[in-house]
Structure 1
Amino acid sequence: MDRLGSRCPLPGYLRPSVLICLLILTASFVSYPMLRTLSLWLHSAVTGSYVSGTYSIVFVNCPNEQIARDIARYGEGA
């Protein structure tokens, strides 16, 4: 009987399998944004296509500020 009692977890403590499941679940939530970004980048690189929901930055030289504003205003509607 003493042997059986030593194998059972103490009341109030989680079993190691439950702790491992919680650790895996937490790691998956934490790493999801990084893995999603990486997968979108790889898909875009392999297929050569743009993936909706990603962002792009474009630097454009303009002869004056008014033309730059016109380009920016037009880009908002695109």
Structure 2
Amino acid sequence: MASKLQLVAPQLYSYWTRGKGLARWAASPTPYRALLAALASEGVPPGQAKGLAANIYHSALGTWPGEHGGGHGH
């Protein structure tokens, strides 16, 4: 039997990478920071927020936080 988290995780991930969830952070001048703040406001534990935010960011935008188009991390 799947846990409740296993059942809702794909839906939450989809929320943050599309539509209304994506709109909450992607258009910000600092989208990664905006996403971190949004995840924190929804109760994501601080120890999990940075990794989750990085994965969501990459999935939605196609680059990792800090790549700034050139992939050099600055």
TM-score when scaled to structure 2? 0.26
- Compare relative contact order (CA 8 Å, sep 6+) and give the higher one, 1 or 2: 2
TM-score when scaled to structure 1? 0.25
Larger radius of gyration: 1
